[in-house]
Amino acid sequence: AQKVTQAQTEISVVEKEDVTLDCVYETRDTTYYLFWYKQPPSGELVFLIRRNSFDEQNEISGRYSWNFQKSTSSFNFTITASQVVDSAVYFCALSEMEYGNKLVFGAGTILRVKS
């Protein structure tokens, strides 16, 4: 069964601090995909990144970086030099090849960045 755990319910930081959002997943499939989405107060889910299970390369995009480690079933997300506009709910999600494009989301982490 698919499962995604985001143990951090809420994180508060001061602007310019670095922050890491944790994501741990469970799957029996060897082919799967991991995602991060951002949900600002407007409600729309904004796609941030996708990783497949065969690509463990870490990725950096501007102030965002992702650390994928199959050995610990983790896909953590780091925001460097956080900004107030980063305040949102962040969801980690998993889809398995067997279940097509069905996304299973973690509970989400609320990030509050204070100025």
Partner 1 sequence: DTEVTQTPKHLVMGMTNKKSLKCEQHMGHRAMYWYKQKAKKPPELMFVYSYEKLSINESVPSRFSPECPNSSLLNLHLHALQPEDSALYLCASSSQPAGGGTEAFFGQGTRLTVV
d(CA 22, CA 75): 7
For partner 1, the binding residue among 30, 42, 57, 115 (CB under 8 A) is 42
Report if residue 24 touches partner 1, rule: CB under 8 A.
no
Segments of the chain assigned E as strands: 3-5, 10-14, 19-21, 24-26, 32-39, 46-52, 59-61, 64-69, 74-79, 88-96, 104-105, 109-114
Report if residue 102 touches partner 1, rule: CB under 8 A.
yes
Report if residue 41 touches partner 1, rule: CB under 8 A.
no
Closest approach, Cβ 26 to partner 1, in A, equals 16
Residue numbers of the site for partner 1 (CB under 8 A)? 31-33, 35, 37, 42-47, 50, 52, 91, 95, 97, 100-103, 105-108
